[in-house]
Amino acid sequence: MLRIAVQSKGRLFDDTMNLLNEADIKISSNKRTLLVQSSNFPIEVLYLRDDDIPQSVSKGVADIGIVGENEFIEKNKEADIIYHLGFSKCRLSLAIPKVENYKGVEWFNGKKIATSYPVILKKFLDEHNINAEIHIITGSVEISPGIGLADGIFDIVSSGSTLVSNNLQEVEVVMKSEAVLIANKNLDNDKREILDQMMFRIKAVRNAEDKKYVRMNAPKAHLKEIIDVLPGLKSPTIIPLADDEWCSVHTVLDEKRFWEIIGRLKAMGAQGILVTPIEKMIL
């Protein structure tokens, strides 16, 4: 049995549960229970505060964990990052009042900075030879300049709306973060085998994100040009049709370029274009 530590609430909890569900790892949604076993996979979920997850994995209380990379770096515990999961993205940034004229990181010399991430902040300040006072605070960091507690802040930024509502401007992005899967350094062979099975499922889910399976009828006279504009994983599948002048082309497209490519295919004579979402993709 493999034990995974996950955040007990919040956006990271929701994203983690969605990922496990997509990987067909069924977990009870009853968060009143600290430890819940999957009904169809050899894994049990331990619900914790996000800042407790790195230590729990490091100490072996949990075998693996899903946590924000920012929390993992801040806690500086002995564990391995196994995989970047691509969700719960944010950044750790320095911000100051909008009325201030910011010309560079030297602005922070002699200033007081409020933060919940003193380890990451100190490393950044040391690297830039900045002598600033770090004021550690938990929760509502963004109000610190407004009440005279600090000159600036160092905190998580997602959309930036919280900064705007507190009349702050983001001036330095120190670190970009996303959810990561971490593992204890001393997993035995049985647990590593379960982890490998879990990773196989997770990667299949992640590979399918923002991908579309596309089928179309294409005139053979323009087949080479059509194939040239298809950025599929490999060569597209070509299937003959009853009409010798036409064939069916099957491929996978990235959603980011989907409409651009579909427009070009239409201009080359492609017809009957059928688009299907992809749930899993095994590479």
Which domains, and CATH codes, for the chain? 2-87+179-207 (3.40.190.10), 90-177 (3.40.190.10), 210-277 (3.30.70.120)
Strands (DSSP E) along 241-279, which ranges? 246-254, 271-277
| DSSP notation for 191-241 | HHHHHHHHHHHHHHHHHHTTEEEEEEEEEGGGHHHHHHT---SSSPEEEE-
Predicted local confidence at residue 258, as pLDDT: 86
Write down the H helix ranges in 23-172.
53-59, 69-75, 118-127, 161-165
Using a cut of 0.95, tell me whether the model's pTM lies above it.
Answer: no
139-185 per-position pLDDT tens digit: 889 999 999 999 999 999 988 888 999 999 999 999 999 999 999 99
Amino acid present at 218: A
Predicted local confidence at residue 98, as pLDDT: 95
Predicted local confidence at residue 78, as pLDDT: 94
Distance of CA 205 to the CA centre of its chain: 13
Asked if residue 4 lies in contact with residue 77, where contact means CB atoms within 8 angstroms, the answer is no
Asked if residue 22 lies in contact with residue 87, where contact means CB atoms within 8 angstroms, the answer is no
DSSP 183: E
Place of tokens 């002699």: 110
d(CA 63, CA 191): 8
Burial class (CB in 10 A: 0-12, 13-18, 19+), 99: exposed
d(CA 218, CA 215): 10
d(CA 212, CA 73): 35
Which stretches of the chain drop beneath a pLDDT of 70?
29-32, 232-234
Q: φ, ψ for residue 120 (rounded to 5)? A: -65, -40
Selection from 83, 26, 87 nearest residue 199 by Cα:
83
Sign of CA dihedral 180, 185, 188, 192: positive
**Cβ atoms within 10 Å of 40's Cβ, excluding its own:** 9
Predicted local confidence at residue 279, as pLDDT: 87
d(CA 10, CA 179): 13
The radius of gyration of the chain from alpha carbons, rounded to an integer in Å, stands at 25
Region for 110 from its dihedrals, namely left if φ exceeds 0, alpha if ψ lies in -120 to 50, beta otherwise: left
Predicted local confidence at residue 12, as pLDDT: 92
Task: Kindly state the tokens that stand for 51.
Answer: 């800042």
Continuous segment of H or E residues that includes residue 219: strand 211-219
